[in-house]
Amino acid sequence: MNPALNFDWFFCRPNKAGGKTLDSKTVCLPTPDGTDCGGRNCSGGVNPFSRKNEKKRGTTILEIIVYTALFGIIAIIISNFLIQIVNAYNISRAEREVLSNGRLLLETVTKSLSEAEGIYTPTSAFNKDLGQISLVTKTNVKPEHETAYIDFWVDNGRLWMKKEGANPSALSAASVRVGKFRLERLSQGLRRDAVRLTLQVNFAQPKFSSTITLTATTALRGNY
């Protein structure tokens, strides 16, 4: 039934077609010509946004108690769920950060190592848990030079890289700590040098601990 066509309902007119009167709930406006309204007050009309006509019903104490108890239980269950979700999210974030940082750091260092021609010993520290290394490389060298230096070191839990002539840049994110950057120099014979790298990356927040230990041996193919 389309209410748009119910002009009787729109204006508070007695409905003669059905022979029934409008109920008190249906809102309507006073008729423009002031005709009768089936016993209802036409002069002021019925405010469609008022519920004054409805009867109020009180709430019993039992209802309040049951309602509060239900609400409490539900709130506890849902908040517990939410806490667990936030916890799980943080743990997965820790794992993700550690994994992606570990992979990136290892790849960056081993790529530089495999291209390197040699190691500049005076500024390298081997067999230390927080070591450092200076590499002599022939890749990305300025035209006026024959070789360039790349340095890697750990400072304040972050792994830094400095290419010659450039500013140092942190390779690891602030959300993780490099716990171990151990370099061991291996020499399998004449001009058969390799560097063994042990890298440990930990998540910075101890509450969501996550750690990864990666090992890689890279031959300095540049000097073969």
Residues 6+ apart with CB under 8 A from 151: 123, 132, 133, 134, 135, 160, 161, 162, 168
The site for other proteins, by CB under 8 A, has a size of 84
In this complex, which beta carbon is closest to other proteins, that of residue 77 or of residue 166?
77
Q: Are 204 and 176 in contact (CB under 8 A)?
A: yes
Per rule CB under 8 A, is residue 192 in the interface with other proteins?
yes
CB of 173 to other proteins, least distance (A): 16
> How far is Cα 157 from Cα 214, in angstroms, rounded to an integer?
16
Query: What is the β-pairing status of strands 148-155 and 132-137?
Result: antiparallel
Residues 6+ apart with CB under 8 A from 207: 90
Per rule CB under 8 A, is residue 147 in the interface with other proteins?
no
In this complex, which beta carbon is closest to other proteins, that of residue 40 or of residue 185?
185
In this complex, which beta carbon is closest to other proteins, that of residue 165 or of residue 177?
177
Of 43, 50, 127, 169, which one interacts with other proteins (CB under 8 A)?
127
Of 43, 44, 48, 50, which one interacts with other proteins (CB under 8 A)?
48
Per rule CB under 8 A, is residue 88 in the interface with other proteins?
yes
Token pair, residue 39, equals 């016993």
CB of 193 to other proteins, least distance (A): 4
